[in-house]
Structure 1
Amino acid sequence: MNRRKGIVLVITGAIFWGIGGTVANKLFQQFPIDVDWLVTIRLLIAGFLLLTVQFFGENRSQILGVWKTRRTATQLMIFGLLGMLAVQYTYMASIKHGNAAVATLLQYLAPVMIIVYLIIRKQTVLTGKDLLTVTLALVGCFFLLTNGSISQLSVPTLAIIWGVLSAITLAFYTLYAVPLLKLYDSLVIVGWAMIIGGFALSFIRPPWQMDFNSLTLEAYFYLAFVIIIGTMLAFWFFMKSLQILSAKESSLLSSIEPLAAVLTTVFWLKEPFGFFQWVGTACIIGMILLLALNKESSSRTTQSKKEEPLKVS
């Protein structure tokens, strides 16, 4: 039952995250909203809401308790800046310069990066399925970004750069959170990390510097969706799943996110998507499902949770 709960949490969070990216794409297209402001406002508000939920629930003492030791306080600061803020900003920047579908698919190179990291650290062994996974990822990215044409890219270069950076930061985000989640509730870690990231970005883009008169009721609805559903609940569910599943499993089971992002981008936003880009999408989703549905891989990662890196430094 505990494992089933973890699977439901990570899949639900992934769907929220995928649709949230598409809604953010809609905001960038129709309203005068930039990446800096959106990331700042969504992190600050979502972080405050998560800590509020923790305050009225159990273990409210953890809200301040996490700051009482230098080690955990330092880890939380690093996670907030290099994990939470980095993954949020790079993902949104990739959406801004491209679209939610491509940004999300590129971000989901993170499981491959985690596998490579664990192999380098000799904490897992290279298998035939891992080689197939990497191959699918490379082939999928080629078709996704070129639509089958070697002579030109079908996706803006900046969108690709930000998307790859998003994958790197997501891999770090997933692995680095593990030791903190062993000590504190996910609400505390995610909430503070969001506030830290939002506060830091506020020095560059203060949240009050915005022409609010230019925003319609529709825009505020989209903002609320991105902040509450696509940020607060999505991150909370994902981090909660890490307390039950391994980092590798959580990353792999969240393969529904790119599918949700692609479908909503193509059918709701009417973004053009070529035949070979669909082939690339299928390769990347197949790559994640190959490992996520493999019982042997699932069993191995669950049993070796203690062997996964607890520190990334």
Structure 2
Amino acid sequence: MQANESGRDHPAAQKAAPGVAPAEPELTVIVVSYNTRALTLACLETLYARTHTTRFRCVLLDNASSDGSAEAVAERFPQVELIASEDNLGFAKANNVVAAQAQTEWLLLLNPDTEVHEGAIDALLAFSKENPQAGITGGRTVFPDGSLNKLSCLDRITPWSAFCVATGLASVFRNTTLFNPEYIGGWDRDTVREVDIVVGCFLMIRRSLWEELGGFNLKYFMYAEEADLCLRAGKLGYRPMITPEAQIMHLVGASSKRTDKMKRVAKGRATLIRDHWPSALVPLGLGLMWLWCALRLGAARLMALGAPRRHGETYEKWSGIWSARADWLAGYQA
């Protein structure tokens, strides 16, 4: 489906009849892009083509992309409010910058490597209004082939879940909630459910709650900032929720190299353990992260010795992650 690039026929851009005040937008859609030109254009195209009843404004902050993302958005989507940053602010700060300028009742964080399915944003806003106790809401995400992408939501890290991740039980028994509790294994995201964490690729929140929480904690440069946000909302009594009626496609990590991403995910994970676990249990959590990397490095080394051409690259990847362990175990610093 092709979007109306001018935006004139979209509810967010309709002009009022003479003598009638125009309807104010109720939602600000925030997109933060970094070297994802083609994906960002597809995201915006589907955003406008498949959102029908929600009055929204879209603000895109480009994090100093070198691929012409900002220029392409300005040309193709003049209705988008574009902020072309000269520096890479990171995901957390970029969202905070845009949210601080928002005047709408609701905010939606939308990744540039997503495509909005029919009526997804309309459904998510309606769901959010019907469930104020959630505070933060999200939908269902799929891969381009339509298969389930479980990374629309997660449950919190616990000593048990950290043990399952470290020892590989979460991978071996990925479809069970018992051994894969963080990914809520066995649940296809096809029912309404309370969760601990709504992932930031498709996250809706009332602006007043965002402001009460202070937005993202800026020490989380990239990865785990939404987990920290949701866990802080949980401490205020909110219970984030997922609805299958709001569905998008999400590629996951389109702007990140695999090894760099894993280091940053590990660093975010260590920060969550430091920030949200009882202090007495933090050494246990960090020790399990150390074990997670050590076991995978050892396995990769054994495989590389037996078949260096086939497994050499995997060994190099885990060797790089292991070498950086002092950095990621320290977590993000305030």
Higher relative contact order (CA 8 A, sep 6+): 1
The reply to whether TM is greater than 0.5 is no
Q: TM-score, normalised by structure 1?
A: 0.31
Taking structure 2 as the reference length, the TM-score comes to 0.30
Structure with higher strand content:
2
The structure that is helix-richer by fraction is: 1
